[in-house]
Protein backbone atom coordinates (compact mmCIF):
# COMPACT_ATOMS: atom_id res chain seq x y z
CA UNK A 1 0.00 0.00 0.00
CA UNK A 2 2.81 2.39 -0.84
CA UNK A 3 3.24 5.17 -3.33
CA UNK A 4 2.59 3.99 -6.87
CA UNK A 5 2.78 5.13 -10.45
CA UNK A 6 -0.01 3.60 -12.54
CA UNK A 7 -0.16 4.14 -16.29
CA UNK A 8 -3.25 3.12 -18.23
CA UNK A 9 -3.31 1.88 -21.79
CA UNK A 10 -5.04 3.22 -24.90
CA UNK A 11 -8.38 1.60 -24.06
CA UNK A 12 -10.80 1.90 -21.18
CA UNK A 13 -9.05 1.13 -17.91
CA UNK A 14 -9.98 0.76 -14.26
CA UNK A 15 -7.05 2.25 -12.38
CA UNK A 16 -6.46 1.72 -8.67
CA UNK A 17 -3.75 3.75 -6.99
CA UNK A 18 -4.38 2.15 -3.61
CA UNK A 19 -3.11 3.72 -0.42
CA UNK A 20 -0.47 6.39 -0.13
CA UNK A 21 0.37 9.08 -2.66
CA UNK A 22 -0.03 7.95 -6.24
CA UNK A 23 0.62 9.25 -9.74
CA UNK A 24 -2.10 8.05 -12.12
CA UNK A 25 -2.25 8.42 -15.89
CA UNK A 26 -5.23 7.00 -17.74
CA UNK A 27 -4.11 7.41 -21.34
CA UNK A 28 -6.76 7.38 -24.05
CA UNK A 29 -10.19 5.81 -23.60
CA UNK A 30 -12.83 6.22 -20.90
CA UNK A 31 -10.90 5.52 -17.72
CA UNK A 32 -12.20 4.87 -14.23
CA UNK A 33 -10.00 6.02 -11.34
CA UNK A 34 -11.24 3.80 -8.53
CA UNK A 35 -10.75 3.91 -4.79
CA UNK A 36 -11.66 1.66 -1.89
CA UNK A 37 -12.52 2.95 1.55
CA UNK A 38 -9.36 1.25 2.86
CA UNK A 39 -7.29 3.41 0.48
CA UNK A 40 -8.60 6.60 2.06
CA UNK A 41 -5.56 7.06 4.27
CA UNK A 42 -5.11 10.80 3.91
CA UNK A 43 -2.94 10.34 0.82
CA UNK A 44 -3.13 12.08 -2.52
CA UNK A 45 -3.98 10.71 -5.96
CA UNK A 46 -2.54 12.92 -8.69
CA UNK A 47 -4.32 12.30 -11.98
CA UNK A 48 -2.27 13.69 -14.84
CA UNK A 49 -4.80 13.43 -17.65
CA UNK A 50 -8.35 13.52 -16.31
CA UNK A 51 -10.68 14.07 -19.27
CA UNK A 52 -14.06 15.61 -18.53
CA UNK A 53 -16.92 13.73 -20.16
CA UNK A 54 -14.82 10.55 -20.50
CA UNK A 55 -13.12 9.71 -17.23
CA UNK A 56 -14.72 9.27 -13.82
CA UNK A 57 -13.72 8.88 -10.18
CA UNK A 58 -15.31 5.79 -8.66
CA UNK A 59 -15.64 5.12 -4.93
CA UNK A 60 -16.32 1.42 -4.52
CA UNK A 61 -17.50 1.32 -0.92
CA UNK A 62 -17.37 4.88 0.33
CA UNK A 63 -20.38 4.89 2.62
CA UNK A 64 -22.41 2.17 4.22
CA UNK A 65 -25.48 3.73 2.62
CA UNK A 66 -23.63 4.77 -0.44
CA UNK A 67 -25.46 6.86 -2.98
CA UNK A 68 -27.77 8.64 -0.57
CA UNK A 69 -24.84 9.96 1.44
CA UNK A 70 -22.99 11.21 -1.62
CA UNK A 71 -26.26 12.75 -2.80
CA UNK A 72 -26.53 14.55 0.53
CA UNK A 73 -22.96 15.79 0.29
CA UNK A 74 -23.45 17.05 -3.24
CA UNK A 75 -26.77 18.66 -2.35
CA UNK A 76 -24.95 20.66 0.35
CA UNK A 77 -22.14 21.94 -1.86
CA UNK A 78 -21.85 25.72 -1.59
CA UNK A 79 -19.27 28.31 -2.54
CA UNK A 80 -16.99 29.32 0.36
CA UNK A 81 -15.52 32.71 -0.44
CA UNK A 82 -12.94 32.52 2.36
CA UNK A 83 -11.22 29.46 0.92
CA UNK A 84 -12.27 30.22 -2.67
CA UNK A 85 -13.56 26.68 -2.94
CA UNK A 86 -16.74 24.65 -2.90
CA UNK A 87 -17.59 22.75 0.26
CA UNK A 88 -20.30 20.36 1.33
CA UNK A 89 -20.65 18.32 4.48
CA UNK A 90 -23.00 15.93 6.19
CA UNK A 91 -22.06 14.77 9.67
CA UNK A 92 -18.44 13.50 9.58
CA UNK A 93 -18.48 13.32 5.77
CA UNK A 94 -17.32 16.18 3.60
CA UNK A 95 -16.37 17.10 0.08
CA UNK A 96 -14.47 20.11 -1.15
CA UNK A 97 -13.41 21.29 -4.58
CA UNK A 98 -10.93 24.03 -5.33
CA UNK A 99 -10.18 25.11 -8.88
CA UNK A 100 -6.95 26.94 -9.68
CA UNK A 101 -6.20 27.49 -13.34
CA UNK A 102 -6.29 24.10 -15.06
CA UNK A 103 -5.94 22.18 -11.80
CA UNK A 104 -8.74 21.03 -9.52
CA UNK A 105 -8.17 19.72 -5.99
CA UNK A 106 -10.94 17.50 -4.68
CA UNK A 107 -10.94 16.26 -1.08
CA UNK A 108 -13.37 13.53 -0.09
CA UNK A 109 -13.77 12.66 3.57
CA UNK A 110 -15.87 9.57 4.21
CA UNK A 111 -15.65 9.93 7.98
CA UNK A 112 -13.19 11.23 10.57
CA UNK A 113 -10.77 8.35 9.79
CA UNK A 114 -10.96 8.17 6.00
CA UNK A 115 -10.10 10.87 3.50
CA UNK A 116 -8.33 11.19 0.16
CA UNK A 117 -7.22 14.13 -1.93
CA UNK A 118 -7.38 14.08 -5.72
CA UNK A 119 -5.55 16.53 -7.92
CA UNK A 120 -6.98 16.59 -11.42
CA UNK A 121 -4.40 18.31 -13.58
CA UNK A 122 -4.69 19.79 -17.04
CA UNK A 123 -8.49 20.08 -16.84
CA UNK A 124 -10.46 23.13 -17.92
CA UNK A 125 -13.01 23.91 -15.21
CA UNK A 126 -13.10 27.63 -16.00
CA UNK A 127 -16.83 27.47 -16.76
CA UNK A 128 -17.58 26.64 -13.13
CA UNK A 129 -16.51 30.03 -11.79
CA UNK A 130 -17.94 30.27 -8.29
CA UNK A 131 -21.31 28.83 -9.25
CA UNK A 132 -22.22 26.15 -6.69
CA UNK A 133 -24.91 24.63 -8.95
CA UNK A 134 -22.38 24.27 -11.76
CA UNK A 135 -19.93 22.68 -9.32
CA UNK A 136 -22.62 20.22 -8.18
CA UNK A 137 -23.31 19.29 -11.81
CA UNK A 138 -19.60 18.82 -12.42
CA UNK A 139 -19.16 16.60 -9.35
CA UNK A 140 -22.25 14.59 -10.28
CA UNK A 141 -20.71 14.05 -13.71
CA UNK A 142 -17.32 12.88 -12.53
CA UNK A 143 -18.10 10.92 -9.31
CA UNK A 144 -19.64 7.48 -9.08
CA UNK A 145 -20.26 5.65 -5.83
CA UNK A 146 -20.44 1.87 -5.82
CA UNK A 147 -19.24 -0.62 -8.40
CA UNK A 148 -22.60 -1.02 -10.14
CA1 LIG B 1 -6.90 4.35 -20.83
- Tens-level pLDDT at each residue, the chain (148 residues): 589 999 999 999 999 999 999 999 999 999 999 999 999 999 999 999 999 999 999 999 887 655 558 888 899 899 999 999 999 998 889 999 999 999 999 999 998 899 999 999 999 898 999 999 999 999 999 999 887 6
| E strand spans, the chain | 5-7, 14-16, 22-25, 32-35, 41-47, 56-59, 78-80, 85-90, 93-100, 103-111, 114-120, 143-145
Instruction: Tell me the CA–centroid distance for residue 102 and ligand 1, in Å.
Output: 21
Instruction: Tell me the CA–centroid distance for residue 34 and ligand 1, in Å.
Output: 13
Amino acid sequence: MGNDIVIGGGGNDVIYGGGGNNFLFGGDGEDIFALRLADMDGGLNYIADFTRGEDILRFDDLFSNQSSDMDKLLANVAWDSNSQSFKGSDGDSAISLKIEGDKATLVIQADSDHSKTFVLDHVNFADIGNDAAAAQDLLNDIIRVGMG
